[in-house]
Amino acid sequence: MAEKVLRIGHSPDPDDAFMFYGLASGKVKLPGYGIEHVTEDIQSLNERALTGNLEVTAISAHAYPHVADKYFIMATGASMGEGYGPIIVSKKYSSLEELRGKVVGTPGKLTTANLLFKIFTDGIHHEDMPFDQIIDAILKDKVAAGLLIHEGQLTYKDAGLKKILDFGELWQKETNSLPLPLGLDVVRRDLGEKFARDISRALRDSIRYGYDHQDESIPYALQFGRGIDSNIGSKFVKMYVNDRTIDMGEEGRQALQLLFEKAFERKLIAQLPDVVLY
């Protein structure tokens, strides 16, 4: 019998590539399925998820309330910051107060970084733009500051920029040290709960394979690093692929629920989804 094709969406970033290496390389298999990897930036994957386009996909945590009718949350595959997360940086300014009345460059509308900005910065103006154009926009004075995700969180000093705020640090203080949920992996509801658990288990095995075979998985992941050096790339992978990525656990679930509650209270999402893990 021919295998069914399972399309898995993930971003072309070192951390996602590392997670999926076991599956991408065929070293970890999901019986009965051939896997087709769809690699797009996270905002594009968020938009695909709005229509239930892919069977399994990475999305921003912020996007989940918009797709909760279509997808289950997997316990595996989450990106969670432990005292670190998206950061606001600037060339000229040093505090949030100085940014009032000015414009901050922010990544895509449905990114979790964008949601955190709206929850915690009390109405500072912002302009959405592709995440990889934000540092350049700051340097060219198109924006007063920028909200950085991905490897920009580690390389901003090289561009002569200074940090104003780390949302991971702020979240830890605000929540009594809960992790900061940033990205999720989700599986389409029409495939059923058993399948959701099966794919979650396969991804867990893929992550473990990556950690057990870093001589293979790290070089593979660094192909997706947009030119960053191997030390920075390896550090970034290990920041966002950690024990909570293997299983976010009860603390991860609580953190996700709290993020949604804060967003709902501020009318940034229309409904409060149930946070059930598979």
What residues are labeled active site? 150
Burial of 251 (0-12, 13-18, 19+ CB in 10 A): middle
Whether 149 and 113 have beta carbons less than 8 Å apart is answered as: yes
| Residue 206 CA: distances (Å) to CA of 22, 30, 245 | 4, 10, 11
C-alpha distances out from residue 247 to 10, 64, 126, 171, 244, Å = 18, 18, 34, 20, 5
d(CA 238, CA 255): 20
Dist. CA 245–CA 70, nearest whole Å: 22
Closest CA to 53 of 74, 67, 42: 67
Distance CA 134, CA 145 (A): 9
Write out the two tokens for 261.
Answer: 């509650």
Calculate ∠ Cα 22-27-31, nearest 5°: 100
Which residues does residue 188 pair with via DSSP β-bridges, in sequence order?
A: 71
